[in-house]
Structures are given as structure tokens and as C-alpha cells.
Structure 1
């Protein structure tokens, strides 16, 4: 994404965290926004797994769910996943009704309980086997995996340098077109862009089956690390 703002100005104010800094300028100012994304292989993934149960009473629904969820969490721990990498993301209890189209009152079906955990997997190669094992242990809600990198400082540095060079090149083009020969950097502001995990959609959860010969296939692909910055330059002669 690239955008340009060109304006004649006698004074430019650059916002900062501690104070406003005023820089006197004589020539016109060009403002460039440039972004860059660096692709790299993910080294971790996040998976959501949980259990939904139904019973006639809320108490029984919670008890049934707790028993099944204990088995799911036990399976995760048995796979070598550390306790700090398993986090409860939500427990929901709702009354369930069957709604009819003949204007009759809805029929009470019981209570639904859903308990979901978010699991960080640090071994990409074992994601498929982990999903299969979770389903075998009783999980009937699976979402993800969402791929990411634990440390993307190197990728962010490359993206930052490339975006900065791109901004300067664009500013020089505008200066040349406006009849100026040089630039003076006035400010650089980077927009913080956290890496967004890329999901692998397990759309048909019923198709996940545990067999000795086949493990759910997972392709991690690549994830992007992005930097966006805005640079202001004074055009000089």
C-alpha cells in the first residue's frame, strides 16, 4: 500500500510520544506511506479444541462436559504439550430449543455446554496427528490451525529496510518531477502491525478419522511479517 501527500509548507510538526517537535522547512514537503511484507516459514501453530455436550439439566450438562474435557486435556498432556501452552478460551452454557415453522411454541431440548481451549503447538510436523488424537479423545469442536512465528524480528527488520528505501525512492521521484534535486528527511513514523496468524480451515470436521495408515494432512505454507511506515521529506535544491 502506497500513498503520497505533497504540500508547500513553512513549518511541519511531527508528533512524538513525549513532545511535539517543530522543524522549520523552506521547500515543499512530500509525505510517503510505504509497506512491505516478508514471507517466511511458520514455526508454531495455534489450535482450538473443545467439547460440546447436551443434557436435560444444566448441572448434568456441566458434569458430562467436564468429564469429556478432562479426557481431551489429558490427551494433550499425554502428547507432550506443556500446561502453559493450553489455555481455556471459553466455557458457554445455553438452553437449547427446537423451533417449529407452524407457530407453535419452541420445544425445550436441554442445555448445551461448550468448553474450548486454545493450544499452542511448537512442533509443526505433529499438527495432523494432534488433531486426530484430540478427536479420538472426544473433542467435537476443532478450529485452526493458525500459523505464526515465535520470533519475527529478522523478517521485520528486512521489511522495515525495504519499506524505507521504497519511501525514499518515491519521494525522490516526486522531487525530480517538481524540479528539485535533493531531499531532507524530516520524520519517520512506523505503524505497528502485529503478525496475523493464517488459518488452515478444517471445514469438514467429520472427515477427520484416526487410522494407522493416514494422518490428517496439514500444509503450513508461509506467513507474512509486515511493516508500514510514513516518511516526510523536504524537497531541496
Structure 2
């Protein structure tokens, strides 16, 4: 009787499993051979967006004079962009600075000789071919600093999906190659994971300046190479 009471007391002291608790079962591996394949798929697209940074840099003896001249010339640049059909949503100011200019001499403190004002705007062209002639217009209206163009895709996700599809196709073809060599067959895909080095970087483009005033700058877009890298695990039997 004493032994039964002890057992009952021990049972009461033990914590009960909460309702709905799930038991953890060991993972059971499938009867087969696991094959991991890393494949890179690709596709190409012609860039349909061009982004150019253009602006005005002016210098004057005083800060007010530098800003005033800069504002005057920048107004002409913005008016030229509007006249060329560039929408307000495709223009964005990226820099507006004013800085003193110094003269340095031995054993003397720096002396301010004037001021430099800079105003830069980023311009997005939805017609790549139209960006070249607009550059010439900007220079004619006072722009003296131009960077670009940077070419990109308006719909990169669609191109990336094509590259992913190609990567899966390449991975399956490689798995079938290994399976044949090992006298096995591809049963199914166990898992797919995407690497973090997907790329939609454009190939180098041509940017040709006009040789005379009657010709215009030409932008040649070329092709963008879009890649996607996947890690695919196959089950071979």
C-alpha cells in the first residue's frame, strides 16, 4: 500500500503535456540518392530606360552671384527638358551645393577666391533613342556637367522570371546527366533555393558625341544580360 501511494504521488508531481502539443518524430530520409545542383539561367533584353544626371556648375566672386547665375542657367535647362517632353515625374534634383573656392600659399592661411554653385538633376528617359539629342539641347542651354547614361529595364521582374525558368531547366538537364552516368533516374525535385546574386546589369553601351554642331549625340542601348542562380536538390532513384 505504501509503494502504491508513492507511485501515485510521483505521478501527480509530473507536469502534464499541454493540450494540442505535438510529438517530435525523427526525419526519415527517402530511399534514394540526393543530388544538389547549382545552375545559372539567363536571358537578354534591350534596355528601355535611360537615366542621365545633368546640371550646371557656376563660379563667381560672391556666393550670391554664383547662386544667381546657377539658377538662371538651370532654369533654361529645366525649360528645355520640359519642351523635349520629359515628364515632371521623370526629373529629380540630386544635388544643390554652394562651396567656397580657396587659394593656398606656403605659410599663409587659405584665402577665399570665390564661390562655386552646383545644381544637378536626374533625368529618366523612357525612349532611349531620344536621350542623345536631348543631351545636346541641355548643353546648348547651359548644362556643363553630364553623367551617364545608365541603361536599365522598365520591367526587370519579367526578365528575371525568364532567367529563373531557364535556371530550373538547366538544373534538371544537369541532374538527368548525372543520373544517367550513375545508372539512376530523376525521381523529383526536393527543394529549390535562390541565390542572392541575381543580376540585371546592362552590358556596356555606346555613347557617341557629335563631331560637329549639325549632328547629335547617339545612344546605342545594346542588350542587358539578366541572370538568376538557383540551388536545386533532386532525388535520384
Give the Cα separation in 2 of the matches to 1:109 and 1:201.
Answer: 39
The residue number in structure 1 matching 2:97 is: 92
So what's the TM-score if we normalise by structure 2?
A: 0.75
Give the Cα separation in 1 of the matches to 2:94 and 2:203.
Answer: 19
For 1:7-156, what aligned pairs fall within 5 Å after superposition?
Answer: 24-26=28-30, 27-99=32-104, 105-156=109-160
The structure with the greater share of residues assigned to strand is 1
Which portions of structure 1, spanning 4 or more consecutive aligned residues, are displaced by more than 4 angstroms? 102-107, 176-179, 197-203, 207-210
Q: Which moved more, 1:183-192 or 1:73-82?
A: 183-192
- Aligned-pair distance for 1:47? 1.1
2:163 to 159, 166, 169: 159
Is 1:56–1:111's contact at 8 Å kept on the other side of the alignment?
A: yes
Q: Which runs of 5+ in 1 are unaligned?
A: 1-21
Give the Cα separation in 2 of the matches to 1:183 and 1:99.
Answer: 76
Report SS of the residue matched to 1:119: strand
The structure with the greater share of residues assigned to helix is 2
Report SS of the residue matched to 1:37: strand
Is 2:47–2:151's contact at 8 Å kept on the other side of the alignment?
A: yes
Larger radius of gyration: 2
Give the Cα separation in 2 of the matches to 1:81 and 1:32.
Answer: 47
Provide closer, same or farther for how the CA distance between residues 199 and 136 of structure 1 changes in structure 2, counting only shifts above 3 A: farther
- RMSD between superposed Cα atoms in Å: 2.9
Verify: 1:232 aligned to 2:233, yes or no.
Answer: yes
So what's the TM-score if we normalise by structure 1?
A: 0.75
The residue number in structure 1 matching 2:12 is: none
Q: Deviations over 1:103-139 (max 9, x none)?
A: 7654433222221111111122222210000101111
Is 1:142–1:202's contact at 8 Å kept on the other side of the alignment?
A: no
Give the Cα separation in 2 of the matches to 1:61 and 1:157.
Answer: 50
